[in-house]
Chains A and B, each alone.
Chain A
Amino acid sequence: MTMRLANGAGSLIDREKPVAFTFEGQTIEGLEGDTVASALLANDIWTLSRSFKYHRPRGPLTMAGHDANTLVQLPDEPNVLADRLPIASGLTVKGQNYAGSLARDRRSLIGTVGGFLPVGFYYRSFYKPRGAWKVWEPIVRDFAGLGRVNVDSRHGYYDKQYLFADLAVVGGGPAGLSATLEASRAGLEVILIDEMPAIGGALNFARFVNGHADGLADAVGSDPNIQVLSGATCTGWFADNWLAVVRGNRFYKLRAKQVAVATGAIEQPMVFRNNDLPGVVVGSAAQRLIRLYGVKPGTRAVVVAANADGYGVALDLHDAGVDVAALVDLRHDASPCHFSDQVRDAGIRVVAGHAVSEAHGRDRVTGVTVAAIVGEGDCAPSGERIDCDLLCVSVGYAPAAGLICHTGIKLGYDGDTHMFTAGGTLRDGLMASGSVTGAHALEAALAQGRRAGWAAAKALGANPGAEPAVPNDLGNRGVNHPWPIFPHPKGRDFIDFDEDLTVRDIKNAIADGYSEIELVKRFSTVGMGPSQGRHSALNTARLTAKATGRDVAKVGTTTVRPPLLPEKFAALAGRAFTPERLTPMHYRHKDLGATMMVAGSWWRPAFYGDPASREETIREEALAVRNGVGLIDVSTLGGLEVRGPDAAEFLNRVYTFAYTKQPVGRSRYVLMTDRTGAIVDDGVACRLHDNHFYVTATTGGVDAVYRQMLWWNAQWRLDVDVANVTAAYAGINIAGPYARAVLAPLCDLDLGAEAFPYMGVRTGTVAGVPARLLRVGFVGELGYEIHVPSSCGEVVWDALMAAGAEHGIRPFGVEAQRLLRLEKGHIIVGQDSDGLTHPYEAGMAWAIGRKKPFFVGGRSIEIQMKRGLARKLVGFTLVDPNAPIPEECHLVVRGKEIPGRVTSCSYSPTLEKVIGLAYVAPDQAEIGSEFDIKVDGGRLVKAVVVPLPFYDPDNQRQAM
């Protein structure tokens, strides 16, 4: 049966554009502009999902995207609000939280035993005996829940954007629109955020009792100073007016100089038996259906009213062709409102001093019992049964004050108006207007909005003219009924639809001693569902107040924190920005078949070949260096220019070694310790000029080293300049017995051992490219580290590969380099050291300049040495050559003690045995001492301490 109104109602839909989608496998015809919920209701389908705990059928409550009753399941996404989600051709939608079918949920039987499942039931019942929760948890989680995550779904595209504004107005209703226009007229740049597809708020659907606001939305839409973000939700206010705004798949980070909150008010449900049946809605939901979507909400309706808005709802239903069977006014002596005469003229029966005590129906309301109110919250035991398929409730509002609460404001309660109030003084740069402040009269809301816009302009130094006047009467009296709660002896009188909590649940929580509102929340979980208490907080506070003998103002509300609406992790993550760095020769490595690895933010060749032959390839690469010549890309090494008259003095203080007497043309090892004396980095310092050092640092450490240098330079105020030039240079290390032979034809320098000795530094050209050449020996062979402008890296790499072809040159990767340096006993900072390792522990006392007065960490090292060594890094081999090879971080054990750990270990193809570095107790560090390593499986492997380096102990090969 179609419920689509035949007239022109439905401002959001396009009747010329039908859209088909499926719901529970059934094809549904809707119109462009429909939400899933409005399209289903247009087809008279009211049950969208099943409730969280009792699996009760649930349908839309607000049609505003404010309640959890409309959560539905999409193939790739659970918990989607059906009254927010636009329909699209081919969309597949299902209900949530049922077993079998949505119409016949087997688990709905749990509702019949609900009386035995009070709040806190599982706290008491499923935790004993010890360990029982592990059994029960998966069962409870399976029964209770929302949608299901599809772990196979593809990642969607989400991103973020920064926005800037003089004024951000949140809420596009009458107050927000007038604030926006007023500020714009004063010259402010304004961003208006509204959650609905079209701005206007209640102007688009409600029947106002006075005033008019024609043309406001059009004026906003055509103003070039105003950017409108409709269909967007501001989910949080943060310090300095930073607003989080989600629209579609984009997360906006909005920084505004001023913020005007005009978020309106949320219509509240009434509490009575079966108040959750599909077909029971707040009055504004019916109005939204009629005016926004052209949907007739029912055929025969009962309206419960406690304010003029309820009378307006009855008239709207009547105008839409709905048979309004009765307007039940909770008030005994309500004074006539502007709509009273129209209601009477429409022939609508008004029943004053009565309430709906119970709704009837199984999957949809089929009738209600209307009974006389005989006391606060008490209905007469019997009443009149009225058949209907729609029950609209208009009994009051709660301010949508979440954003205001994010600023630290706590909601108060006005006993005269029976409303929560966003009381207190708002912080500078924040204003509130409209019904969020209690201004329910249209003229008052408009005036408040104008004043907010004016105040923002004035605060920002504009000249907005005279301050707009605001009427004294905000229209907030006679809007909220003081006690729209009618508990029923048979229960099912829901306070919180999200969590299936009834009046009895709240009372029981209080009776158990959880009498403070925060405790009531935590014990009962009221307000902790997806709608975050929007429809439960006010009535819970009322119940708590009554049960504890306090007034509602004293009871207060729970703390409101961002986000206001659930935010998807995808929205928070946005488009991932993970910078990655490529060396100048990156694509050469790819062409050579390198298996790449991540090193910090860099990609580096681990080895050149298939991962399946990893170990073999690494050994071949290492042997190529030992016996022939190899080429490795070391561009990722940090490069720092330290220049100025005090450059040597600066290095002398920053590093452990001595540099003031270092000759030009020589390099020297650098070891950096922090103020605790722990090793943090190493490299070499190349003196290119009296006032110029080119200092290398580790790949992962250079940024921290650079920051430290800048910091110390600012402290010491030496005449020195430090520049990070890491990316400026391509670094290529050519190493092996044939290195000189390969390089010589390409280089304009004398590469002979005398002219260019080990640890020498020269500048010249390689393949015609200006180059800095360093004779260093990290891998322990004759080698030259060539640093050229990075834009020329590929050229030099190609030239070296070509020149080395006749010598069988082979590129080698990080893994072979690690093996080669291990054979030489060189440490890798961060692998063979940790955050506490000081130089003496690592056997690097030789790198400390003892005669200089100061270096960073020097004093700490002295103190540590007076305490004595606690461990020492040693080289080891295995006693049993056939024993399992220890791995990094395998423990060195001695009885029940753990004196140290393995830091590096590998089989050396050159030495044909397993070699490694490990921390051991000082008394285990003597050459020849044996110690145990606990390897995988718990087996103990015996190792023996040997001298370092393992390979070429006289260092003759690197000095060739």
Chain B
Amino acid sequence: MTAMRKSFVHQPPSVEADATAAARMGLADLSLRPRTGFKGPGTMAWLAGQGLVVGEAANIAYPQSSGLLVAKLAPTEALILGGIDGNEATIDTLDRTWSIDTAAGCYALPRRDTHVWLRVTGSAAPVMFSKICAVDLRAAKFANHTIAQTSVARLNAIVVRDDLGATPAFHLLADSASADYLWRCLIDAMAEFDGAPIDENALHRLL
């Protein structure tokens, strides 16, 4: 199954992994990486039962010791992103453990397929976002691990700030069917900042 997965974006990075570009203005496609989601009134209790630690506040992402990032989109909804080092097995375990019969009031969401997952990195990222998103994502106004559920280039999108070391970085998740469109919009918006598509391995160098 995993081997069959394909990126939603049909325009792969055209440059080699470049930490310099990533620090300035980079765009990586993480769509092949694991992610999942759950919603419903029993979601937080069920996630707690799986050992995930999620705080009270919504629209905050909660890093886990396992490397997962639990983005609490609402009091009853969570998006779970695999860490930079993988966590395929951990996410798969969550998906396999979940059952409509046992997870009362908690319903799985196929986030791997509903959403393209992009990583926008670099010091210019907040300014670049201001061309396509009405939320003020500058560092002083949008704290690390804050979530914005907003419109990006007229697409419903989830933006999670999750810095890589000292480099501002954002997870950007949006409709997977619109992945090519979104990718083009981002490449266009990044151009004035010398932004470049980057391989996800470049992300490691920012840590």
Contacts and interface: CB of A to CB of B under 8 A. Distances in A.
Interface of A: 159-164, 253, 575, 577-584, 587, 601-602, 635, 641, 643-644, 689, 691-692, 719, 721, 723, 725-729, 768-770, 789-792, 794-795
A643 B107 contact: yes
27 contacts: A162-B133, A162-B134, A162-B136, A163-B130, A581-B178, A582-B177, A582-B178, A582-B181, A601-B178, A602-B177, A635-B177, A641-B107, A643-B40, A689-B100, A719-B105, A723-B107, A725-B109, A725-B114, A726-B177, A727-B114, A728-B114, A728-B176, A729-B113, A768-B4, A789-B110, A791-B4, A792-B4
Contact of A692 (B39, B100, B178): B100
B62 interface: no
B39 A789 contact: no
A587 B136 CA distance: 36
B92 to A, nearest CB: 13
A697 B61 CA distance: 33
Nearest to A723: B109
B112 A721 contact: no
Nearest to B138: A164
A925 to B, nearest CB: 41
B180 interface: yes
Shortest beta-carbon contacts, A-B, top 8: A581-B177, A728-B113, A728-B110, A577-B154, A164-B136, A728-B114, A727-B177, A795-B4
A370 to B, nearest CB: 55
Interface stretch (B5-13, B18-26, B49-57, B81-89): B5-13
A164 B189 CA distance: 18
Given A582-B179, A728-B113, 8 more contacts: A583-B177, A584-B177, A643-B107, A689-B100, A725-B113, A790-B8, A791-B8, A792-B6
B130 A579 contact: no
B132 interface: yes
A791 B136 contact: no
A159 to B, nearest CB: 6
A161 B177 contact: no
Contacts of B177: 581-584, 602, 635, 726-727, 790
A579 B134 contact: no
Contacts of A689: 100
Contact of A691 (B100, B178, B189): B100
A579 B153 CA distance: 8
Given A723-B107, A768-B1, A792-B5, A579 B155 contact: yes
Contact of B113 (A253, A587, A691, A789): A789
A160 B131 contact: yes
Interface in B147-190: 153-155, 175-181, 185, 188-189
Contacts of B96: none
Interface in B121-140: 130-134, 136, 138
B78 to A, nearest CB: 13
A245 to B, nearest CB: 13
Contacts of A577: 132, 153-154, 185
A161 B138 CA distance: 14
A161 B185 CA distance: 14
Contacts of B136: 162, 164
A771 to B, nearest CB: 12
Contacts of A582: 177-181
B107 A791 contact: no
Contact of B181 (A580, A691, A723): A580
B4 A769 contact: yes
User: Looking at B40, B107, B131, which has the most chain A CB atoms within 10 Å of its CB?
Assistant: B107
Interface of B: 1, 4-6, 8, 10, 31, 39-40, 100, 105, 107, 109-110, 112-115, 130-134, 136, 138, 141, 153-155, 175-181, 185, 188-189
Contacts of A159: 131, 189
B1 A790 contact: no
Contacts of B110: 725, 728, 789
A794 B6 contact: yes
B4 A161 contact: no
Contacts of B6: 584, 791-792, 794-795
A773 to B, nearest CB: 17
Contacts of A583: 177
Residue with the greatest number of chain B CB neighbours at <10 A, chosen from A577, A584, A692 = A577
A617 B158 CA distance: 42
A770 B95 CA distance: 14
Nearest to A160: B131
A330 to B, nearest CB: 51
Contacts of B113: 725, 727-729, 789-791
Contacts of B131: 159-162, 575
B113 to A, nearest CB: 4
B185 A769 contact: no
B207 to A, nearest CB: 27
Contacts of A768: 1, 4
B176 A727 contact: yes
Nearest to A577: B154
B175 A581 contact: yes
A468 to B, nearest CB: 27
A568 B40 CA distance: 48
A578 B153 CA distance: 8
B100 A579 contact: no
Contacts of B154: 577-579
B129 to A, nearest CB: 9
A190 to B, nearest CB: 14
Contacts of A721: 39-40, 107
A575 B5 CA distance: 33
A954 B8 CA distance: 43
B130 A161 contact: yes
Q: Which of A164, A729, A794 has the most CB of B within 10 A?
A: A164
Nearest to A587: B10
Contacts of A601: 178
A769 B4 CA distance: 8
Contacts of A581: 175, 177-178, 181
B202 to A, nearest CB: 23
Contacts of B31: 791
A728 B181 CA distance: 17
Nearest to B182: A579
Contacts of B8: 584, 790-791
A535 B113 CA distance: 61
Nearest to B153: A577
Nearest to B184: A580
A691 B42 CA distance: 15
Contact of B5 (A692, A729, A791): A791
A585 to B, nearest CB: 11
Contacts of A726: 177
Point out which of A580, A719, A791, A795 has the most chain B C-beta atoms below 10 A from its C-beta. Answer: A791
A723 B176 contact: no
Contacts of B114: 725, 727-728
B173 to A, nearest CB: 11
Most chain B CB atoms below 10 A, which of A578, A635, A641, A790: A790
B158 to A, nearest CB: 14
B15 to A, nearest CB: 22
Given A159-B131, A582-B180, A727 B175 contact: yes
A635 B177 CA distance: 10
B176 A790 contact: yes
A570 to B, nearest CB: 16
Contacts of A580: 178, 181
Nearest to A576: B154
Nearest to B115: A727
Contacts of B112: 789, 791
Centre residue among A579, A583, A691, A789 by max chain B CB count within 10 A: A579
A581 B10 CA distance: 13
Contacts of A584: 6, 8, 177
A477 B31 CA distance: 69
Contacts of B4: 768-769, 791-792, 795
Contacts of A728: 110, 113-114, 176
